[in-house]
Structure 1
Amino acid sequence: MMEVEHPAAKVLVELAQLQDEEVGDGTTSVVIIAAQLLKAADELVSQKIHPTTVMSGYRLACKEALKYMQEKLSINIDELGRECVLAAAKTTMSSKLIGPESDFFAGMIIEAVEAMKYSDGQGGFKYAVEAVNILKSHGGSTLDSLLVRGYALNCTVASPGMPKRIVNPKICCLDFGLQKVKMHLGINIELENPEKIEAIRREEIDIMKRRVDRILKTGVNVILTTGGADNVYIRQVEEAGAALVRRCLKKDLKRIAKATGGKFIFVVRYRPFLYGIL
């Protein structure tokens, strides 16, 4: 990591790092543009213009620049042929990362974006680009990449005995693990009979068993959870003929719930409409 002391230099370093993380390219361009903006701002400050005024001017200029690009420079892709859109996609990928494979990725990206097309309710269309999920896999080349028409997770089912393929699934997305319920901190249990300790342990297990049973009774056959799952509940789901996937990313489950018309569940209630159908 580059070590600098000057405040302006630190800003440029952080800006380049952020550009690399978010976009993966264009670090040189963004530093050059930012440096010119800093240079112009320094000249304005030397003319006794208050820094707050300079920042307000930059914000206004940014707003007007975006407005101009939207109104004057943007082109509705519905008016263009596929070849023009393909050429535009190749141009955006002519970088040091995937430039040599731009022909391969351009068509794939267009297909992915078109799959996210939806009506805006005003006679136009929008594209939910942020809903496109990108998974990385070690061991292959970039040309091994493929487009999945669905939603791919970097996870596997919790048990080999669970079904790998389910037609017309009913999906449940949970934001909690299927694990033994433990008493909250601050709760004390006083027992006169030591034999009841085992009964309490069994009840801690049975609480989650009942919750899983409620979920399965709704007809759910795919359970996706952000947490882990104890073996006893994995067997329970497997015996019901359903599939369970553990430790999914929260953002993935939110997208899946939205796509299937379900809800991202935090608390178990017997409400069938909470579960998505694909």
Structure 2
Amino acid sequence: MNQPVIVMNTNMDRETGRKAQTSNITAAKTVADIIRTCLGPRSMLKMLLDPMGGVVLTNDGNAILREVEVAHPAAKSMIELARTQDEEVGDGTTSVIILAGEVLAQAMPYLERNIHPIVIIAAFKQALEDALEIIEQISVPVNVQDPEEMFKLVKTSIGTKFVSRWSDLMCNLALDAVRCVAVEVDGRREVDIKRYARVEKIPGGQIEDSMVLDGVMLNKDVTHPKMRRRIENPRIVLLDCPLEYKKGESQTNIEVTKEADWARILQIEEEQIKAMCDKIIELKPDLVFTEKGVSDLAQHYFVKAGISAIRRVRKTDNNRIARAVGATIVNRVDDLKESDVGTACGLFAVEKIGDEYFSFLTGCKNPKACTVILRGPSKDILNEIERNLQDAMCVARNVYFNPRLAPGGGATEMAISIGLMEKSKTLEGAILWPYKAVAEAMEVIPRTLIANCGGNAIKTLTTLRAKHAAGEHSWGIDGHAGKIVDMKDYGIWEPNAVKTQTIKTAIESACLLLRVDDIVSGVSGKQAQQQRAAAGGEAGEQEGGEGMQPEM
């Protein structure tokens, strides 16, 4: 095996010590500046172009950073933060980048004064522990069974997005979907929105026509025109095997010398398919779903028996149907039993929307899977609505797991800033200054909220600081007007999990980047150019659809 060799020579692209740290901080700040204007309800949209000519309009931090192409390793590490935040809690992707960029920027003056990075990191770690305590102190418990409280909470996550004009509708969709898929497993609550709450986008119609089905919808039609397209209280069988003649393996070789033998081979095929269909018909189902194909002969037998069949259903859709109608997916027709039949569905209907046929399984009794149907004028708008709805569903899911809320609108960050400033009075030595730097960095969120809606940052922040110093921790920024308001009255709350994760991720990644004191390129200048050219050619072939964005 060839081991990778790091070639070190005088021409090599290398940054060490202070230069490396400065370079990392600059890159991190550049990434933060890209999406700084995407925070709050008055946020601006970014237009992303890709080489295929596609255009994405969004203010979702994670969606923007997924498309941006950067060369600097520290910038790549910052983009990874947004992805981590999105996978972990589904919200706060913009905040985490802005906060991490600001924490690093605040560390810069102390590096220039020759305070060792390890001392700065120790101060940051201590500030993080104290910040998490402050969040716990100012957060309040929430009753997940109270629809009004949950509604207000989800409205917060949607308020800054494109869909805020339809926020009531979107909040209800998100809450209904999360309530539907929430189940208790071994005394533990499980909310798997990725697997069991599918979002189907159908261009056309009004956004107000969007809804959560009490069941499942598929983009499929029945396989035969004579099959029933509307069945009330259907008995449903789910299969994971083909209803076709089972051919021999690829090496099978048959020589036919007599016509009678050929006729017998065809007869065996028919007998095999008939035996499979008889086995299914014995259970008297009304609907058969299979993930594989259904032969013409099988369709003929089903039509005679009054059974509707739908073929080539996706595995994920089949799992959702199984959970919604109470059926079991069977791998062999011979194993079918009465207990495998699903009977919890109220109505099966095939409807034509636009040019396509959709199968609806609705009226399910206590379904644990659902489909969210989004309607809207164009694909671009539907994609943006889906991104916003995913955020809202993640917020609702987080509160199910950790039912505590922290005040929004920059109130939590300001409370942390004031709290850390107070605690810094008890510290001594070099650790004091970087500790205070975290307190100052926390103010970036309320400051950005004021700046994005055109308010007076200095005046408003001073007033807000005074409120928090007096112990009124629920005061924050009204993102529409740029004034300070009490979040208890204004009704803007965020899940504790999102706030905690944002601050943890931001400060820990800042510590990680400060630890880097050497950036070594693994090849010499000439080799690097050759490799880059080769990699560029391969990358161009493989990922034609990647974003064409600014390089750091």
TM range (shorter): 0.7 to 0.9
Aligned counterparts of 2:150 and 2:260: Cα–Cα separation in 1? 73
Q: Does 1:136 align with 2:201?
A: yes
Deviations 1:104-157 (A, max 9, x none): 2223333343344555675x9765645333211122332221232222222222
Q: What corresponds to 2:298 in structure 1?
A: 233
Find 1:177's aligned residue among 242, 246, 271: 242
Q: What corresponds to 2:97 in structure 1?
A: 31
Deviations 1:167-204 (A, max 9, x none): 22211111233333221123333444364234324433
Find 1:207's aligned residue among 272, 283, 301: 272
Amino acid at match of 2:262: I
Deviation for aligned residue 1:32: 3.4
Aligned counterparts of 2:78 and 2:222: Cα–Cα separation in 1? 45
Question: Against the structure 1 CA distance between its residues 138 and 23, is the aligned structure 2 distance closer, same or farther, given a 3 Å change threshold?
Answer: farther
Q: What corresponds to 2:175 in structure 1?
A: 110
Q: What corresponds to 1:86 in structure 2?
A: 151
Identical columns (%): 30
Q: What corresponds to 1:101 in structure 2?
A: 166
Deviation for aligned residue 1:209: 3.2
Find 1:258's aligned residue among 300, 310, 323: 323
Deviation for aligned residue 1:85: 2.1
Moved more, 227-236 or 199-208: 199-208
Secondary structure of 1:223 counterpart? strand
Asked if structure 2 preserves the Cα contact closer than 8 Å seen for 1:178 and 1:208, the reply is yes
Q: How large is the RMSD of aligned CA atoms in angstroms?
A: 4.1
Bigger share in strand: 2
Asked if structure 2 preserves the Cα contact closer than 8 Å seen for 1:25 and 1:96, the reply is no
Aligned counterparts of 2:85 and 2:205: Cα–Cα separation in 1? 26
Q: What corresponds to 2:144 in structure 1?
A: 77
Give the gaps of 5 or more residues in structure 1: 49-56
Secondary structure of 1:136 counterpart? strand
Q: Does 1:7 align with 2:73?
A: yes
Counterparts in 2 of 1:156-171, with a 5 A limit?
156-171=221-236
Q: Which has the higher contact order (CA 8 A, sep 6+)?
A: 2
Aligned counterparts of 1:182 and 1:197: Cα–Cα separation in 2? 15
Aligned counterparts of 1:247 and 1:172: Cα–Cα separation in 2? 14
Find 1:47's aligned residue among 118, 130, 134: 118
Deviation for aligned residue 1:223: 0.6
Asked if structure 2 preserves the Cα contact closer than 8 Å seen for 1:177 and 1:225, the reply is yes
Amino acid at match of 2:252: I
Asked if structure 2 preserves the Cα contact closer than 8 Å seen for 1:173 and 1:265, the reply is yes
Aligned counterparts of 1:88 and 1:139: Cα–Cα separation in 2? 30
Deviations 1:46-69 (A, max 9, x none): 539xxxxxxxx9xxx99xx7xx97
Amino acid at match of 2:170: F
Asked if structure 2 preserves the Cα contact closer than 8 Å seen for 1:262 and 1:277, the reply is yes
Deviation for aligned residue 1:233: 1.9
Deviation for aligned residue 1:264: 1.2
Q: Does 1:153 align with 2:218?
A: yes
Deviations 1:230-257 (A, max 9, x none): 3222222122101111222211211222
Asked if structure 1 preserves the Cα contact closer than 8 Å seen for 2:142 and 2:149, the reply is no
Moved more, 261-270 or 24-33: 24-33
Amino acid at match of 2:118: Q
Amino acid at match of 1:108: L
Q: Does 1:249 align with 2:249?
A: no
Amino acid at match of 1:141: Q
Question: Against the structure 1 CA distance between its residues 231 and 87, is the aligned structure 2 distance closer, same or farther, given a 3 Å change threshold?
Answer: same
Aligned counterparts of 1:113 and 1:235: Cα–Cα separation in 2? 41
Counterparts in 2 of 1:193-204, with a 5 A limit?
193=258, 195-204=260-269
Aligned counterparts of 1:205 and 1:268: Cα–Cα separation in 2? 16
Aligned counterparts of 1:156 and 1:37: Cα–Cα separation in 2? 55
Deviation for aligned residue 1:101: 0.9
Counterparts in 2 of 1:213-228, with a 5 A limit?
213-228=278-293
Aligned counterparts of 2:330 and 2:104: Cα–Cα separation in 1? 48
Aligned counterparts of 1:202 and 1:12: Cα–Cα separation in 2? 65
Q: What corresponds to 1:275 in structure 2?
A: 341
Asked if structure 2 preserves the Cα contact closer than 8 Å seen for 1:181 and 1:205, the reply is no
